[in-house]
Structure 1
Amino acid sequence: MTVSTEQRQSVLEEVRTLRRSSDKPREEDVRLDRALADLYSALPRAWLTERQFLSGKTFRGALFNSGCGRYVNRDDIWLYANAPDLLRAIEWRLYREGGGRLVLTTNMGSEPMFFNWRNTTGACKLYDSYDRLEINRWAPDDVFHMWNPVNSEPIGTWSDTDFQLYNRTNVANPTFKFSYIVEEDLSADDRLIFDTYHKENPSAS
Structure 2
Amino acid sequence: MKARTVRTGLLTLTLCGALLSTLAPKGVAQARRPDARLFAQAEYYSGDTFPFETRTPRGVRVYAVRRPAPEALRAIDDGLTELFAVARRHGYGARLSYTDYTVFIARADRTRDSAGAYSPDIAVGAAQYAGSVYDQGGYIYAAGMVLSTEPCAFLIAEHERDFQRIANVTRYEGEHIVLYHNDRRLYEQTADHSRGGGHPILK
TM-score by length of 2: 0.23
Structure holding more strand per residue: 1
Whichever of the two has the greater Rg, that structure is 1
Structure holding more helix per residue: 2
